[in-house]
Amino acid sequence: MIAELGAFALALALALAALQTGLSVAGRLRNSPVLAGAGQGAAIASALAVALAFGALILAFATSDFSVANVAANSHTDKPMLYKVAAAWGSHEGSLVLWCLVMTAFGAVLARASNLPFGLKTSAVATQGALSLLFLAFAVFTSSPFQRLDPAPFQGMSLNPLLQDPALAVHPPLLYAGYVGFSVCFSLAVAALIEGRETRLSWTAWGRWVRPWALASWAFLTVGITLGSFWAYYELGWGGWWFWDPVENASFLPWLAGAALLHSAVVTERRGALAGWTVFLALLAFSFSMLGAFLVRSGVLTSVHAFAVDPQRGLMLLAILGMTAGAAFALFAWRAPMLKSGGLFAPISREGALVLNNLFLTAAAGTVLLGTLYPLILEAATGQTISVGPPWFALTFNPLMIIALIILPAGPLLAWKRGDLTGALQRLAVAAGLALLFALAGWALFEPKKALAAGGLMVGAWLILGALAETAERVRLFRAPLAETLRRARGLPLGAWGMTLAHAGLGVFVLGAVVETSFKVEAVAPLSIGQEMRAGPWAVRLDGVAVVEGPNYIAEQGRLTVRPAQGSGRAKAVTAERRFFPAGGQTTTEVGLDFRGLDDVYVVMGERRAGEPGTVATGQAWTVRTYWNPWARLIFLGPMVMALGGVLSLLDRRLRLGVGAARRRKAVAA
């Protein structure tokens, strides 16, 4: 019954999305606020219907209703409740419903926005409706998660145990909020292209409307990607956190385009300039999101992440991507030359710096796109299978980004229209000096000595100190009395703090990435109980191995002690497991992590070397793999700080969405 209700709600949402599009188009053509309002009502109703469908799906998973094919294929009664619920978005069908939920929910917020002019809002709601229509149709007609099985199996096939993890339970919703959030930027861009000529669209206002969506999506995507990376780090047991896997790239591409978008939208908002380029980036960011969905779901990729689905659905997604992105970019090519580009500026200016930022971000995105798609294109064309791995990206993406990062701190210190580069550099002199000292200290302290790593340390420190220098400048730290500084700090807009945090967070990430990549130590040794191994400055002893039983797995659990190899540091106990899941016949590793300040000591239990499995006897050995990952904490902390910066900027008074504004005005009037 629940499944039928869900299927009905999903079909209803499809009809409502069609209504939303139709009514909005009619409302725009006839200039009728009544029709347009009805379209906005349909948008909200559509979101509610998808929410109902999604709720039904979660309920089916929570109650382990195996008569629903999707539940039978992805769930199991033994699973803890969290993973039963999370399995609702663990499959292609379920995650597609989540995708539609985010899309229609954002569409509903767009429909409630009160500060948009009639024409732009109606066109944007119509576009968002058309996007929802396509994806809902895809969900209803090809990928319904509500299909029944007859007879219902007694037990489900369970979710891939690798995915049974708290970080991964929340990773897809956050990621999708980011991916699909860009659909609103896309809709606003299409609306601007439609409206740009007829009404006198104010580009500064458009920049202000699109920026909160870009910021929110980018912040969600940042957290989502970071959680995914953290999951890969501690769940796969490979000791790495980013593999340049095509599916990772698929999530990274919209992130890069989104980062470029939120910077260029600032220029559009403040100066009315770069309008065409900002529109282009808004289209690009969501097109990359859809490309990612296609790559993940079409089965063209071999990846840890790829959904194993049939190519038929991949073709449908390719068709959706071609239709929407094709139509939007064609509209762009037609209308962009007619857009009025306002505001001239000198090359050395805040705008100039932001153009440079955009240039490097898009060029870097271009190299990632090439590295991701080239193997696919080559295979389709010649049948030759190649793989493009981390070395390729290290040689192409990294140099471009390093140049961008070196330029970055100067940007915020330049004035709009015409900046003073010498002045900006003078004000950064202290930051540069301190960064150099930091790099020299790193060079002296870290072994082995690596010049590149010292350079990387300098870039990271330069980013953090440069961001702080800019804020110090604005609050006149040490130049004015403390009271004056505090008053100025309070007066700084949240957006300014957001920018400082985001840039400093990037620096924190760079420091972590540089130190971890340059100085990590990996050691493998067969250990019997009581034996010890070394990894960098750490000694790891295997104290014992026990067979433990989890809710849906049996594990060999190693108890280990990590202590400094020299000196008298505190010894800490960690457990690392090798879990066998009988439901899927799979083995996974649970990494033992010892957090040591910024460093991780990362222990993986490997295979048993002798003896019968299932028993623990003496005289056996286990392969134990230990990594010392120095400063690994910063790799995951940095992006979180960046996302926090995005959230702060989002809270800035100047970027209110206007959803609550109407209500507040009414309250004041009453």
Residues 50-69 that bind other proteins (CB under 8 A): 69
Whichever of 142 and 202 has its CB closer to other proteins, that residue is 142
Q: For residue 665, how far is the Cα from the chain centroid?
A: 35
Whichever of 326 and 347 has its CB closer to other proteins, that residue is 347
Instruction: Considering only residues 371 through 390, tell me which ones interact with other proteins, judged by CB under 8 A.
Output: 371, 374, 384-389
Omega before 448 within 30 of 0, i.e. cis: yes
Whichever of 95 and 127 has its CB closer to other proteins, that residue is 95
Total residues contacting other proteins (rule CB under 8 A)? Answer: 80
Which residues make beta-bridge pairs with 532?
A: 541
570 SS3 class: coil
Sign of the alpha-carbon dihedral angle for 602, 603, 607, 609:
positive
Q: How far is the CB of 647 from other proteins (least distance, A)?
A: 22
Q: For residue 155, how far is the Cα from the chain centroid?
A: 34
Q: How far is the CB of 160 from other proteins (least distance, A)?
A: 5
Q: How far is the CB of 143 from other proteins (least distance, A)?
A: 11
Confirm or reject binding of residue 557 to other proteins (CB under 8 A). Answer: no
Omega before 337 within 30 of 0, i.e. cis: no
Whichever of 311 and 551 has its CB closer to other proteins, that residue is 311
Instruction: Considering only residues 599 through 618, tell me which ones interact with other proteins, judged by CB under 8 A.
Output: 604, 606-607
What is the side-by-side strand order in the sheet with 599-608? 521-528, 621-629, 599-608, 592-596
Give the span between the Cα atoms of 631 and 7, in whole angstroms: 48
Residue from 19, 180, 281, 364 in contact with other proteins (CB under 8 A) = 364
Give the span between the Cα atoms of 134 and 139, in whole angstroms: 9
Instruction: Considering only residues 402 through 431, tell me which ones interact with other proteins, judged by CB under 8 A.
Output: none
Whichever of 225 and 632 has its CB closer to other proteins, that residue is 225
Given the rule CB under 8 A, which of 164-172, 423-431, 448-456, 559-567 is the region that contacts other proteins?
164-172
**Type and span of the H or E element at 469:** helix 451-474
Q: Are 96 and 135 in contact (CB under 8 A)?
A: yes
Confirm or reject binding of residue 125 to other proteins (CB under 8 A). Answer: no
Whichever of 356 and 657 has its CB closer to other proteins, that residue is 356
Residue from 232, 284, 320, 655 in contact with other proteins (CB under 8 A) = 232
Given the rule CB under 8 A, which of 28-36, 113-121, 222-230, 432-440 is the region that contacts other proteins?
222-230
Q: Which residues of 644-669 are buried (b: 16+ CB within 10 A; e: fewer)?
A: bbbbbbbebeebbbeeeeeeeeeeee
Instruction: Considering only residues 525 through 554, tell me which ones interact with other proteins, judged by CB under 8 A.
Output: 526
Query: Which residues make Cβ contacts (< 8 Å) with residue 370, sequence separation at least 6?
Result: 396
Q: How far is the CB of 585 from other proteins (least distance, A)?
A: 5
Q: What is the CA radius of gyration of the chain?
A: 27
Query: Which residues make Cβ contacts (< 8 Å) with residue 231, sequence separation at least 6?
Result: 165, 167, 168, 171
Q: How far is the CB of 583 from other proteins (least distance, A)?
A: 10
67 SS3 class: coil
Residue from 28, 79, 92, 596 in contact with other proteins (CB under 8 A) = 92
Confirm or reject binding of residue 299 to other proteins (CB under 8 A). Answer: yes
Whichever of 166 and 481 has its CB closer to other proteins, that residue is 166
Whichever of 147 and 199 has its CB closer to other proteins, that residue is 147
Confirm or reject binding of residue 162 to other proteins (CB under 8 A). Answer: yes
Given the rule CB under 8 A, which of 24-32, 258-266, 528-536, 586-594 is the region that contacts other proteins?
586-594
Confirm or reject binding of residue 667 to other proteins (CB under 8 A). Answer: no
Q: How far is the CB of 248 from other proteins (least distance, A)?
A: 5
Instruction: Considering only residues 455 through 484, tell me which ones interact with other proteins, judged by CB under 8 A.
Output: none
Given the rule CB under 8 A, which of 508-516, 531-539, 587-595, 654-662 is the region that contacts other proteins?
587-595
Whichever of 563 and 625 has its CB closer to other proteins, that residue is 625
Instruction: Considering only residues 318 through 357, tell me which ones interact with other proteins, judged by CB under 8 A.
Output: 344-345, 347, 352, 355-356
Confirm or reject binding of residue 247 to other proteins (CB under 8 A). Answer: yes
Q: How far is the CB of 87 from other proteins (least distance, A)?
A: 10
Residue 346 sits at φ, ψ, to 5 deg, of -80, 155
Instruction: Considering only residues 262 through 291, tell me which ones interact with other proteins, judged by CB under 8 A.
Output: none
Residue from 160, 528, 575, 620 in contact with other proteins (CB under 8 A) = 160
Q: How far is the CB of 93 from other proteins (least distance, A)?
A: 8
What separation in angstroms does the CA of 621 have from each of 185, 216, 527, 580, 607?
57, 51, 5, 19, 9
Query: Which residues make Cβ contacts (< 8 Å) with residue 427, sequence separation at least 6?
Result: 413, 469, 473
Given the rule CB under 8 A, which of 128-136, 299-307, 409-417, 476-484 is the region that contacts other proteins?
299-307
Which residues make beta-bridge pairs with 545?
A: 558
Q: Which residues of 128-159 are buried (b: 16+ CB within 10 A; e: fewer)?
A: bbbbbbbbbbbbbebbbbbeeeeeeeeebebb
Provide the mask over 559-578, with x wherever binding to other proteins is found by CB under 8 A and - wherever it is not: -------------------x
Q: For residue 74, how far is the Cα from the chain centroid?
A: 24
Q: Are 477 and 485 in contact (CB under 8 A)?
A: yes
Whichever of 441 and 548 has its CB closer to other proteins, that residue is 548
* Residue 117 tokens, joined: 């002019």
Confirm or reject binding of residue 309 to other proteins (CB under 8 A). Answer: yes
Q: How far is the CB of 305 from other proteins (least distance, A)?
A: 5
609 SS3 class: coil
Residue 581 DSSP symbol: E
What is the distance in angstroms between the CA of the first residue and the CA of the last residue of the chain? Answer: 46
